[in-house]
């Protein structure tokens, strides 16, 4: 635990990453009753209402709000839910989707002309080796299609990151809530076209209280609490102190999937996790470590 982070703030950050990590198990449970695209539409509907009535519109353009809403709502979560509907296990999904870090770097390089540093190439090589390891061990719980869908979700997440960076919202939680207005209509339309009216009606009518609780948890716990608490912490501490906590998301994701769903953890999964998380750690922590080494004269 960083010395600069008070215990209460550390526990709050830990609670956020625990919610974000275990959320993959919640997704899997809800998909037992709801079609994936309908599930995504319901998630963003509850994230939008009633919070929209209490949060002023962030000072960004409508086009930017729409871009973020489509990237995150349709791209990230639409594809993630589709992948987890029988194509990939929750634990592996929680790990692979973190490659959004490298997609974000790639998009920033392409759009903004940012240069990739040598340590980032090393980080990317490690993470890519981990993803390749997963691809070589596809089975009934993790398929090539599922892996590709999650990588597409990670790319869409990266697109949302770039949109947020360009929009520079003054209030991130309001930004997430208002952008949800642009995620709901396309998700409902896609659900109607690809899942059909019967699946939508049956999903809603046969969803049990646990399913609705999972939808609410996605909207209020994962989205509203997660973003509000994370933004509150980032406003009070350096990013280098808070953001490394995000490395625990796949730990909680894989642990929860093993604990609640009985997902096995063979050696190849542990190796893949070590490679991907090693790449993420290098990308996240090396700049801070380098500054400390330079400051100490080493």
Using only the alpha carbons of the chain, give its radius of gyration: 19
269 within some domain = no
- Structural domain boundaries enclosing 229: 7-109+141-261
Mean pLDDT of 202-226: 92
Within a domain: 118: no
Give domain status of residue 221, yes or no.
yes
Q: Residue 296 falls within a domain, yes or no?
A: no
At 139, the pLDDT band (50, 70, 90 cuts) reads low
Q: What is the mean pLDDT of residues 57-79?
A: 95
Q: Mind listing the pLDDT tens digit for each residue in 47-57?
A: 999 999 999 99
Q: Say if residues 57 and 171 touch (Cβ distance below 8 Å).
A: no
Average pLDDT, the chain: 88
What's the pLDDT score for residue 294?
67
Q: Taking residues 52-73, what's their average pLDDT? A: 94
Question: What is the mean pLDDT of the segment spanning 158-181?
Answer: 91
- Residues 69-78 have a mean pLDDT of 96
Q: What is residue 84's predicted lDDT score, i.e. its pLDDT?
A: 95
What backbone torsions phi and psi does residue 49 show, to the nearest 5 degrees? -115, 135
Tell how many helices (H) and how many strands (E) occur in the chain: 16, 0
Q: CB burial class (10 A; 0-12, 13-18, 19+) of residue 291? A: exposed
The larger pLDDT score, comparing residue 133 to residue 192, is at 192
80, 97 contact by CB (below 8 A): yes
- The CA distance from 177 to 48, in Å, is 5
Q: Is residue 50 part of a domain?
A: yes
User: Could you tell me if residue 174 is inside a domain?
Assistant: yes
Domain-located, residue 104:
yes
CB 243 within 8 A of CB 231: no
Question: Average pLDDT in the 71-77 region?
Answer: 95
Q: In this model, does residue 2 exceed pLDDT 50?
A: no
Domain count, the chain: 1
**Farthest-apart Cα atoms in the chain, separation:** 68
The CA distance from 129 to 275, in Å, is: 7
- φ, ψ at 76 (rounded to 5°): -70, -60
Q: 279, 130 in Cβ contact below 8 A?
A: yes
Residue 3 has what pLDDT?
45
Flag whether 275 is in a domain.
no
């Amino acid at each position: 635990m960083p010395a600069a982070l008070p215990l209460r703030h550390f526990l709050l950050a830990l609670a956020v990453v625990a919610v974000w990590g275990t959320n993959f198990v919640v997704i899997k449970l809800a998909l037992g009753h709801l079609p994936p695209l309908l599930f995504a539409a319901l998630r963003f509907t509850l994230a939008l209402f009633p919070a929209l009535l209490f949060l002023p519109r962030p000072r960004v353009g409508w086009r930017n709000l729409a871009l973020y809403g489509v990237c995150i709502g349709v791209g990230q979560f639409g594809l993630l839910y589709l992948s987890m509907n029988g194509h990939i296990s929750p634990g592996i999904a929680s790990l692979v989707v973190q490659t959004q870090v490298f997609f974000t770097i790639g998009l920033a390089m392409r759009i903004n002309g940012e240069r990739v540093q040598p340590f980032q190439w090393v980080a990317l090589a490690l993470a890519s080796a981990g993803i390749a390891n997963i691809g070589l061990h596809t089975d009934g719980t993790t398929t090539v299609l599922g892996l590709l869908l999650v990588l597409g979700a990670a790319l869409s997440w990266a697109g949302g990151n770039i949109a947020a960076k360009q929009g520079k919202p003054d209030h991130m939680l309001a930004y997430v809530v208002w952008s949800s207005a642009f995620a709901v209509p396309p998700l409902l339309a896609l659900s109607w076209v690809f899942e059909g009216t019967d699946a939508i009606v049956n999903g809603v009518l046969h969803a049990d209280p646990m399913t609705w609780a999972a939808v609410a948890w996605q909207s209020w716990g994962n989205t509203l609490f997660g973003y509000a608490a994370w933004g509150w912490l980032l406003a009070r501490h350096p990013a280098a102190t808070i953001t490394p906590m995000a490395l625990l998301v796949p730990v909680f994701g894989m642990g929860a999937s093993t604990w609640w769903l009985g997902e096995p953890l063979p050696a190849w999964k542990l190796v893949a996790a070590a490679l991907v998380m090693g790449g993420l750690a290098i990308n996240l922590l090396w700049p801070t470590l380098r500054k400390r080494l330079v400051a100490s004269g080493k």
